[in-house]
């Protein structure tokens, strides 16, 4: 768009020379008629006034044009800035839309995974419960209590699937750990119709033995008979030493213990 600026011009009246000429011509006459001079002078004055008014209007219009041009330039700069901002905003929105699309896909994948994990956890829990029932009977009540607590979370909507699955896996790892190292713990057994305080010695999953606190009775779990059977005195010292080693009270060494051969 082309903008025409108003230039300040000065209007020069041309009536003065004519007036002066008339005055000089008339000065030669003996009788001077001043009515014409007055009229011309009045016209000249009016002309000067009109010229001054026109010049003032021109100046105002020129100033207004300068102000409008400056405002236009400022607005043009603002528009350019908005264009840059809008371009950046469009890029940001596009990136956010891509991120939202990724989140939507992730949510769909998680939902699908949850549908698959739930029946898997159920099968894992059943396997754990059956395993504890068929395993050698060490700390049975504690192990079953932990399984019961885990199963209770299955119906708890406040516990998410990831936490439920973590609890199941943790119990799997606990059961695996039981088969790697010896362990001793205290308990109560009924011997000859009398409840006795005993120390149990579990050697991985290959042997579960007991010994009374006075070492008067020592026995081992018979997998075939599904019960504890008493051992002779020949194993009393070895079992006592094994209990001390499991408690960390004695150095580890080879012991001769009654072990059932794998079936």
Percentage, residues of the chain above pLDDT 70: 85
221 in a structural domain: yes
**Residue whose pair of structure tokens reads 């308990």 in the numeric block:** 187
Summary mean pLDDT of the chain: 82
Extract the runs of DSSP E, i.e. beta strands, from 98-232: 182-191, 194-203, 207-212, 218-222, 227-230
Greater confidence (141 vs 111) lies with: 141
Which tokens is 78 given?
């603002």
Between CA 80 and CA 72 the distance in angstroms is: 12
Supply the pLDDT for residue 259.
72
Between CA 55 and CA 121 the distance in angstroms is: 96
- Asked if residues 210 and 199 have their Cβ atoms less than 8 Å apart, the reply is yes
Judged by average pLDDT, the poorest of 47-61, 158-172, 175-189, 215-229 is: 47-61
172 in a structural domain: no
Percentage, residues of the chain above pLDDT 90: 35
Q: Residue 16: which pLDDT band, with cuts at 50, 70 and 90?
A: very low
Long-range contacts: 183-189, Cβ < 8 Å, 24+? Answer: 183/138, 183/246, 184/242, 184/243, 184/246, 184/247, 185/138, 185/139, 189/228
Long-range contacts: 152-158, Cβ < 8 Å, 24+? Answer: 154/121, 154/122, 154/125
32 in a structural domain: no
**Residue whose pair of structure tokens reads 């939902």 in the numeric block:** 111
12 in a structural domain: no
Supply the pLDDT for residue 8.
46
239 in a structural domain: yes
Has residue 126 got a pLDDT over 90?
yes
Has residue 32 got a pLDDT over 80?
no
Judged by average pLDDT, the poorest of 50-64, 158-172, 177-191 is: 50-64
Supply the pLDDT for residue 181.
81
**R_g of the chain, CA atoms, integer Å:** 56
Domains held by the chain: number? 1
Supply the pLDDT for residue 17.
47
Supply the pLDDT for residue 72.
85
HSE (side-chain half, CA atoms, 13 Å) at 197: 3
Supply the pLDDT for residue 35.
63
Question: Which residues constitute the domain of residue 225?
Answer: 182-263
Between CA 65 and CA 200 the distance in angstroms is: 105
Q: pTM of the predicted model, to two decimals?
A: 0.57
Q: Residue 79: which pLDDT band, with cuts at 50, 70 and 90?
A: confident
96 in a structural domain: no
Between CA 19 and CA 101 the distance in angstroms is: 91
- Convert 9-36 to b/e letters by CB count within 10 Å (16 or more is b): eeeeeeeeeebeeeeeeeeeeeeeeeee
DSSP letters of 207-257? EEEEEETTSS-EEEEETTTTEEEE--GGGHHHHHHHHHHHTTSS-------
228 in a structural domain: yes
Average pLDDT for residues 93-113, to the nearest whole number? Answer: 81
Has residue 57 got a pLDDT over 90?
no
Greater confidence (78 vs 188) lies with: 188
Has residue 30 got a pLDDT over 60?
no
Supply the pLDDT for residue 261.
52
Supply the pLDDT for residue 240.
92
124 in a structural domain: no
Between CA 243 and CA 240 the distance in angstroms is: 5
Has residue 37 got a pLDDT over 90?
no
């Amino acid at each position: 768009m082309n903008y025409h600026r108003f230039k300040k011009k000065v209007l020069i009246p041309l009536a003065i020379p004519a007036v002066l000429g008339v005055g000089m011509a008339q000065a030669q006459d003996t009788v001077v008629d001043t009515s014409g001079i007055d009229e011309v002078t009045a016209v000249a004055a009016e002309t000067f006034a009109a010229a001054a008014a026109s010049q003032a209007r021109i100046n105002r219009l020129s100033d207004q044009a300068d102000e409008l041009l400056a405002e236009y330039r400022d607005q043009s700069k603002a528009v350019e800035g908005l264009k840059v901002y809008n371009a950046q905003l469009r890029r940001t929105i596009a990136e956010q839309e891509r991120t939202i699309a990724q989140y939507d896909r992730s949510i769909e994948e998680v939902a699908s995974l949850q549908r698959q994990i739930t029946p898997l956890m159920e099968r894992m829990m059943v396997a754990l419960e059956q395993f504890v029932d068929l395993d050698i009977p060490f700390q049975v009540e504690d192990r079953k209590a932990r399984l019961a607590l885990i199963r209770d979370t299955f119906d708890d909507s406040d516990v998410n699937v990831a936490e439920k699955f973590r609890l199941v896996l943790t119990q799997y790892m606990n059961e695996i750990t039981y088969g790697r190292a010896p362990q001793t713990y205290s308990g109560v057994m009924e011997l000859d119709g009398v409840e006795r305080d005993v120390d149990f010695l579990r050697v991985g999953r290959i042997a579960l033995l007991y010994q009374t606190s006075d070492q008067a009775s020592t026995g081992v779990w018979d997998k075939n008979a599904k019960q504890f059977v008493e051992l002779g005195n020949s194993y009393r010292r070895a079992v006592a030493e094994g209990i001390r080693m499991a408690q960390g009270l004695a150095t580890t060494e080879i012991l001769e213990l009654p072990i059932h051969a794998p079936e």
